[in-house]
């Protein structure tokens, strides 16, 4: 019974997605093709012809880039599905009010929404892994193993961003979050180049970001190179963000929705 109520909300999100999936399906397939083609093969040719392999532990730039992008796209998927849709549920469409008029409680909404985000991240990451393998960036077996780190990365961002969105009254806060948090992490958390190439004073900040831990874990699993730190450190760090973020989302959404 405890699981039935969150699953009801999950089901409602899936029913809505049946009518809107075409809009996201294009970017789900197109983004990996464009990024891996333009940067992995295009820019990668220039990097590999220079001193790239010497600075990437003997990897081609495509091999280095692909797992990092996998984690980064998991982050972006979770962030997108935990921001504007949550504000819509609270303020615009107000389907959260409708759901709370039923036996569903705020924690059921949060657990159901987080489960839906996990499903979305799993689907997007699976597509990305297939395209990675078709590009020759990873072996099929290792690529599929990288689905775990990608899901952990998405879940390290989805619940905290849902909690943050629950406190907002205006979408400008979401835009600022993407501009000043998500985009800088996408660029400077080891996705496109080793963090060690950042200025020394900036490297500790990169190590604190959940995306860096996700990138390192995905890259280590996908390529069999082993992450920079012990794998369990990365796992615990990402899980902690997800668990704390979920608890905060329940608390803040209850404060927002229940008078």
Region 2-20: mean pLDDT is 87
Q: What is the pTM of this model?
A: 0.93
Provide the sign of the torsion angle of the four alpha carbons 21, 24, 28, 29, taken in this order.
positive
Count CA atoms within 13 Å of residue 82 on its CB side: 38
Q: Mind listing the pLDDT tens digit for each residue in 50-90?
A: 665 556 778 899 999 999 999 999 999 999 999 999 999 99
- Residue among 155, 184, 154 nearest 74 (CA): 154
Q: Mind listing the pLDDT tens digit for each residue in 113-140?
A: 999 999 999 999 999 999 999 999 999 9
Ranges assigned E (strand) in 43-112: none
């Amino acid at each position: 019974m405890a699981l039935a109520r969150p699953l009801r909300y999950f089901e409602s999100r899936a029913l809505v997605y049946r009518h809107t999936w075409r809009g996201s399906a294009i970017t789900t397939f197109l983004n990996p093709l464009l990024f891996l083609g333009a940067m992995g093969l295009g820019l990668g040719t220039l990097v590999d012809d220079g001193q790239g392999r010497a600075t990437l532990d003997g990897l081609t730039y495509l091999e280095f880039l692909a797992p990092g992008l996998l984690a980064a796209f998991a982050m972006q998927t979770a962030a997108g599905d935990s921001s504007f849709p949550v504000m819509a549920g609270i303020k615009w469409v107000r389907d959260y009010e409708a759901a709370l008029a039923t036996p569903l409680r705020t924690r059921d909404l949060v657990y159901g929404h987080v489960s839906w985000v996990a499903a979305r991240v799993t689907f997007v990451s699976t597509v990305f892994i297939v395209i990675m393998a078709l590009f020759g960036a990873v072996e099929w077996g290792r690529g599929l193993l990288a689905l775990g780190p990608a899901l952990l990365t998405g879940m390290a961002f989805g619940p905290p961003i849902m909690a943050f969105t629950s406190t907002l009254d205006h979408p400008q806060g979401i835009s600022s979050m993407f501009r000043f948090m998500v985009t800088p992490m996408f660029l400077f958390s080891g996705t496109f180049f080793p963090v060690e190439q950042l200025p020394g004073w900036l490297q500790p900040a990169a190590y604190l970001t959940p995306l860096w831990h996700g990138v390192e874990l995905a890259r280590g699993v996908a390529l069999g190179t082993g992450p920079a730190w012990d794998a369990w450190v990365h796992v615990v760090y990402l899980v902690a963000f997800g668990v704390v973020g979920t608890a905060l989302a329940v608390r803040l959404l209850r404060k927002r929705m229940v008078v």
